[in-house]
Chains A and B, each alone.
Chain A
Amino acid sequence: MKRDSSEGLTAAHQGPFFSASSGRLESSAVAGGYARATIGVDHSFVAPRPGQFVLLRLREGPALPRAFSVLAAEAGRLEFLLKLDGALREALGRAAMGTEVVVRGPYGTPYETRIGRDCRYVLAGGGSGIAPLLHFAAAYPELTEDVAFGVRERGVRDLLPGVDIAVEEEGGETADDRLRKRWKHGLGILACGPEPMLRGIAQRYAAEPDTYVSLETRIGCGFGACQGCSVETRSGMQRVCREGPLFACSEVPWLR
């Protein structure tokens, strides 16, 4: 569904939201080392735009909430694709339905406000980096030329039926391989995934005018104050949680 509410955008740029909610885990399916989980939140919780993230915390989990981009968002409901490799993510994947999840956000600058609007994009996603790109594709079909998604294990396909994903253990093909085949001059790239994948993309496409990478660092406060997520850019230190998470590839030369 395409939404063009400029209200959400304006508000996101006026200041951080402190909309918080005691969410409840509504559904969770686990396959291939990932979980697809839905968390019910208050209807007043501001729905994240593609590329924005929320902070999640379980009562029994790590003390500092963790940042997650969303796979889909609508009033009262957030959906996530979680890689089950951290304390919180594993706990979320195993949690019983109805488990309370503390949700805060959304934070970060929506992808659409960081990118040029005069080209279409190949969305390159690896692992849970696929989630915000699917969110983007659903909201902006007119900006989406193609996808280049990849995961290691085939189980993930069961969690995302109908999504075109390369599975490394099947044919050895990666998101990166697909990007090489599907990108051509005149198209932009939106990439989100593990750092080695982003490095590979940066090495090949950084000089192209519309290559963007969605960076991941451990987010602290989420609202731009603590500098825990700051990275070096050509315009000085920038916050992944505020100016980011999306950066023009040319802005982060250290990634190459």
Chain B
Amino acid sequence: MAALTVRALGLEFRNPVVLASGPAGFGLELAAAFDLSRIGALTTKTVTLEPRRGNPQPRLVDAPCGVLNSIGLQNPGCDAFEVDLLPQIRAFPTRRIVSIAGRSPEEVAALASRLAGEQGVDVLEVNLSCPNVHGETVADNPETVRAFVRGARSASTRPILAKLPGEGKYLDLVEAALSAGADGVALINALRGMRIHTETGLPLLDRQVGGLCGPAIFPIALHRVFEARKAFPETVIVGTGGVSDLRGALEMLFAGADLIGFGFAVMADPTRVFRLAQELDEWLTKRGIADVDQLRGASHRGGIHVR
């Protein structure tokens, strides 16, 4: 048995497997079928102040090696979240990361403040990169990131993760988030993409753009995590984007991720995600590696066989 515990954000995570925000919903359906103590943390679907209906159909469009999603932050709003969902989420035998998003830094602050007194919210993740809502939250510039993260920071003493896009000058965005008080970053969100109907010549998605997720974006996500680790050796990174198996998880750890987010994989094959910590343990044990910590960032220091 290798040690899988990850110490990050002032907390202990049982293992590095994190369900990323979105495909797992609020975890209720998964909790009915799987033992949540087999994962390190669950990230909730993004909560906004007011309820949101999300986008019209179609919300999912196939793409080579992945899918374009356009859910549009459908969620019941903070009131219903606190009353109906949080009491159940609080009882989950794993860490709970609550994803929040707002139209302004003030809205983010209001949400963070609402959740500040709630038990069972281990970490706040500020979603700054949803590609699927109009006129907000794809934070393309450091100023926006800084303002939104400051909003959350001003209202909460909880650990804060900034969920950032993997596009543009993403390292500047990481820098902005950290300088505004984030304790770490989740890299990357789905990448903006589109598809067009070949019979009509019209975009398949109502908003034209959707978020590309799945194995298609894995090498991109891996590279962003690698670069972020190089630039910020000490910060906490949740490496997310197209990881679907043990091999992808290992690569994320080598690139420098502390925790690994699984999004698309939860949609495609949840059983596999819940088996992953065990697979990781077996892999480490077979090689005589005592602690998963030994893998983190190994690509930056000559690999795992050189210390």
> Which A residues contact B (CB, under 8 angstroms)?
14-18, 20, 57, 62-65, 87, 102, 104, 217-221, 223-232, 236-237, 242
Interchain Cβ contacts under 8 Å between A and B, 14 examples = A57-B268, A63-B65, A63-B214, A218-B62, A219-B60, A220-B23, A220-B69, A221-B29, A223-B29, A223-B30, A226-B25, A228-B267, A236-B53, A237-B53
Residue B22 contacts which of A102, A226, A230, A242 (CB distance < 8 angstroms)? A226
Residues in A whose Cβ lies below 8 Å from that of B23: 220-221, 225-226
CB of B65 to closest CB in A, whole Å: 5
Q: Are A18 and B54 in contact (CB under 8 A)?
A: no
Query: With the chains together, A77 CA to B24 CA distance in Å?
Result: 30
The docked-state distance in angstroms from the alpha carbon of A227 to that of B132 is 13
Chain B interface residues toward A at CB < 8 A: 22-30, 32-34, 45, 53-54, 56-62, 65-67, 69, 71, 74, 214-216, 264, 266-271
Asked if residues A64 and B270 are in contact (CB atoms below 8 Å), the reply is: no
Closest to B274 in A: A18
Does the CB pair B267–A226 fall under 8 Å?
A: yes
Q: Is the CB of B62 within 8 A of A62?
A: yes
Least distance between B276 CB and chain A CB atoms (Å): 15
Asked if A228 and B59 sit within 8 Å, CB to CB, the answer is: yes
**What's the dominant secondary structure at chain A's contact region?**
loop
Q: Given contacts A63-B67, A217-B58, is CB(A14)–CB(B32) below 8 Å?
A: yes
> Do B58 and A237 touch (CB < 8 A)?
no
- Closest residue of chain A to B215 (Cβ to Cβ) is A63
- The answer for the CA separation of A232 and B26 in the assembled complex, in Å, is 20
In the complex, what distance in Å separates the CA atom of A230 from the CA atom of B70?
A: 11
Contacts of A18 in B (CB 8 A): 33-34, 270-271
A17 partner residues in chain B, CB cutoff 8 A = 33
In the bound complex, do residue A223 and residue B69 qualify as a contact, i.e. CB atoms below 8 Å apart? no
Judging by beta carbons under 8 Å apart, are A229 and B59 in contact?
yes
Which 7 A/B pairs are nearest by Cβ-Cβ distance?
Answer: A225-B25, A15-B32, A218-B60, A228-B60, A221-B267, A226-B23, A224-B29
CB-based contact A221/B33 at 8 Å: no
Instruction: Indicate whether A227 sits within 8 Å of B264 (C-beta atoms), given known contacts A20-B271, A64-B67.
Output: no
Contacts of A219 in B (CB 8 A): 60
Contacts of A14 in B (CB 8 A): 32
B54 touches A237 (CB 8 A): yes
Closest to B72 in A: A227
